[in-house]
Amino acid sequence: AQSVAQPEDQVNVAEGNPLTVKCTYSVSGNPYLFWYVQYPNRGLQFLLKYITGDNLVKGSYGFEAEFNKSQTSFHLKKPSALVSDSALYFCAVRDINSGYSTLTFGKGTMLLVSP
Amino acid sequence: DAGVTQSPTHLIKTRGQQVTLRCSPISGHKSVSWYQQVLGQGPQFIFQYYEKEERGRGNFPDRFSARQFPNYSSELNVNALLLGDSALYLCASTLSGSSYNEQFFGPGTRLTVL
């Protein structure tokens, strides 16, 4: 079965500093990976995805993610954090079953950006 | 364009009752998936429907059921509610059944079971 792990429950960073939210994956076959963000009392918003191609994927709101096959990682990054980036971040992997595919999510990482 | 909409936003029920949650996908999207997000955890897959047919089901008991209508909207039903069913229920729509498409999520329905 496919799975993702987010080893940090919380990441703290000061505004203006770079941020990294970690994700590792375990899949059979090619990994199709996603990052979503969830603001309080809101649904999940899509940030970016890796299907194939360049290892550095650019997404919404200035976020990017680096796919590393040898380390089975897909870390989310941003060069300069904003207070408004504070939210819950989920890494997800496409989970293939017979006849359909869905998403398997990590447990989430809370990002707190201090002014 | 309107995104995925869900109703109601909040719901309070007591144990043993039944609940129906509703979802309208993005216009033109034909696939709807339901997820359960318990506090402190990531969303867990419940059902996926495509073109009104059930395509997949997660590891949930038979108390959970769903259907998709000709206009591609969907309902999730939960019978004999338990305290552990308290969660945020998320609906996601996808353009097609393709695994390459990202899923767009609605705001969710917060269900509290007392």
**Which candidate from A92, A104, A107 shows the least CB-CB separation from B41?**
A107
pLDDT tens-digit series, residues A9-59: 999 999 999 999 999 999 888 888 999 999 987 789 999 999 888 899 999
Q: Report the pLDDT value the prediction gives residue A106, as an integer from 0 to 100.
A: 96
Residues 6+ apart with CB under 8 A from A114: A12, A13, A14, A15, A83
Q: How confident is the model at residue A93 (pLDDT cuts 50, 70, 90)?
A: very high
State what percent of residues in chain A have pLDDT above 70: 97
Q: A87 pLDDT exceeds 70? A: yes
Return the pLDDT at A73.
Answer: 96
CA distance B95 to B56: 17
Range B24-45 average pLDDT:
93
Say what the pLDDT of residue B98 is: 65
Q: Residue A81's pLDDT band (boundaries 50, 70, 90)?
A: very high
Q: Give A45's contacts in chain B (Cβ within 8 Å).
A: 105
Provide the H-helix boundaries in B4-74: none
Question: In this complex, is the C-beta atom of A39 within 8 Å of any C-beta atom belonging to chain B?
Answer: no
What residues of A are in contact with residue B110 (Cβ under 8 Å)?
Answer: 41
Pair B24, B5: CB distance under 8 Å? yes
pLDDT at A53: 84
Above 70 in pLDDT, residue B97? no
> Beta partners for A24?
A5, A73
Q: Does A75 contact chain B (CB < 8 Å)?
A: no
Name the B residues in 65-84 with CB < 8 Å from any A CB: none
Measured between beta carbons, the chain B residues lying within 8 angstroms of A30 are none
**pLDDT above 70 (res B110):** yes
Extract long-range pairs of A45-53: CB within 8 Å, 24+ residues apart. A45/B105, A46/B102, A46/B103, A46/B104, A46/B105, A47/A76, A47/A89, A49/B102, A50/A74, A51/B100
pLDDT in the model for residue B71: 94
User: pLDDT class for A107, splitting at 50, 70, 90?
Assistant: very high
The beta-carbon neighbor of A90 closest among B40, B42, B92 is B42
Which residues of chain A are within 8 Å of residue B59 when distances are taken between CB atoms?
A: none
Residue B94 forms contact with A (CB below 8 Å): no
Instruction: Decide if pLDDT at A2 tops 80.
Output: yes
Residues B39-87: tens digit of each pLDDT: 989 999 999 999 889 988 999 999 999 999 999 999 999 999 999 999 9
Q: What pLDDT shows up at residue A23?
A: 98
Higher pLDDT, B15 or A96: B15
Q: Which of B36, B55, B59 to mutate to test the interface with A (most CBs of A within 10 A)?
A: B55
Q: Return the pLDDT at A99.
A: 63
Higher pLDDT, B100 or B63: B63
